[in-house]
Amino acid sequence: MKSYRVIGIMSGTSLDGLDLAFCIFSKKLDNWNYQILKAETVSYSSDWEKRLKELPKANAVEFAQTNTDYGTFIGQKVNSFIKKHNLQVDLISSHGHTIFHQPTLGFTSQIGAGASIAAETGLDVVCDFRSLDVALNGQGAPLVPIGDRLLFSEYDYRLNLGGFANISYEEDGKTLAFDIAPANIAFNYFAQKLGFPFDNKGKLAANGKTIPELLQKLNALPYYQINGSKSLGREWLETEFLPLIDSFYTINDILSTLVQHLTYQISIVLNRTSKKNQKLLITGGGAYNSFLIDQLKEKTNVEIVIPSNALIQFKEALIFAFLGVLRIENQINTLKKVTGANSDSIGGAIYKGK
């Protein structure tokens, strides 16, 4: 039985922190198994949070410098993680942090230079998973579905409630996946206006009331009329989504409406395709939003499964660790069916350690 010891690294658009997950993958015949043995989230300092948040508006020199510095930062955190838990590691697989994602213009950028991580740790690194797919005219997202299909086949639907909500499922033997709507990136944005880092368990939203005219405007956005491969990014949120939300609304009412909007968009997908006795796995920080989960239960007829805390928090880091393994094995890790690319591909740049 072949096995790999991998640290998967993920930083989401909502800037919750840097996720590190030490995972072991083993393959017997054509079946993959996984374990998350150690995992933690490293919170960003106020300086790093400010730097990442403002980087899209920086100049080219600042961008290049931050890409290198952030790679060194990741490498240092990985070294501390390894030392703390006394780990033996074969590979680092890093998603990095997305700064630009405009596949329609042919580019995407996840910072955290692989060369810097490899130099800092002395370990082999796989990174830059999205660029090849974008070069092949794909969306560069979502990348998680191949991991969902190979590691979580017992669930009919796999929903991740991170910065954006994304889903994957099989239909007629083919994997379908796409971003649904903004989730924590929007919730956090408005919760922070009230001085909270996020809406804990959805309590702020639960104390608000739906704004019908806002809900109607959000649901009418052109993105939701697109069928097939599609993905969302910070740029879309800032130019298309947030401008619809007038400042005279109360924050609680806005948050309540955003939850209704998200759960409605999720329900459209599930109610269109689901049959009886189907299971929905929910991961990501939004799984802790009790108000959101309750609203979703009211709008759908699937069995909702909330897994262990480790899987809720670190499923994306786990899957990016797995994408790195597939890259090393020279196996397809990006599906044209879900990204809209010209072909399936084996994404990821490799930097050799010592």
Is the distance from CB of 315 to CB of 283 less than 8 angstroms?
yes
Is the distance from CB of 155 to CB of 280 less than 8 angstroms?
yes
- The secondary structure of 143-188, three-state, reads CCHHHHHHHCCCCCEEEEECCEEEEEEEECCEEEEEEEEECHHHHH
- Residue with the bigger pLDDT between 111 and 234: it is 111
CATH number of 145-310: 3.30.420.40
> Would you state the pLDDT for residue 41?
95
For residue 132, the SS3 value is helix
> Would you state the pLDDT for residue 274?
67
Q: How confident is the model at residue 1 (pLDDT cuts 50, 70, 90)?
A: low
CATH of 2-140+315-351, one of 3.40.50.150, 3.30.420.40, 3.40.50.2020, 3.40.50.80: 3.30.420.40
Is 90 exceeded by the pLDDT of residue 30? no
Q: Which amino acid, one-letter code, is at 23?
A: C
- DSSP-derived letter for residue 55 is G
Is 70 exceeded by the pLDDT of residue 116? yes
For residue 54, the SS3 value is helix
Write the CB contacts of 277 (distance below 8 Å, at least 6 apart in sequence). 303
Give start and end residues of each alpha helix (H) in 274-305: 290-299
Q: What share of the chain is helix, strand, coil (3-state, %, to 5)?
A: 45, 25, 30
The percent of residues above 70 in pLDDT, for the chain, comes to: 99
pLDDT tens, 165-201? 999 998 888 888 899 999 999 999 999 999 999 999 9
Q: Give the predicted TM-score (pTM) of the model.
A: 0.85
Residue where the block lists tokens 């010209």: 342
Intervals of CATH 3.30.420.40 along the chain: 2-140+315-351, 145-310
Q: Which of 59, 53, 62, 3 is nearest to 28 (CA)?
A: 3
For residue 207, the SS3 value is coil
Residue where the block lists tokens 């879309």: 236
pLDDT tens, 299-312? 999 999 999 999 99
Is the distance from CB of 45 to CB of 69 less than 8 angstroms?
no
> Would you state the pLDDT for residue 231?
85
> Would you state the pLDDT for residue 133?
97
What beta strand segments (E) does 66-120 contain? 91-102, 107-111
* 273 class by beta-carbon count within 10 Å (0-12 exposed, 13-18 middle, 19+ buried): middle
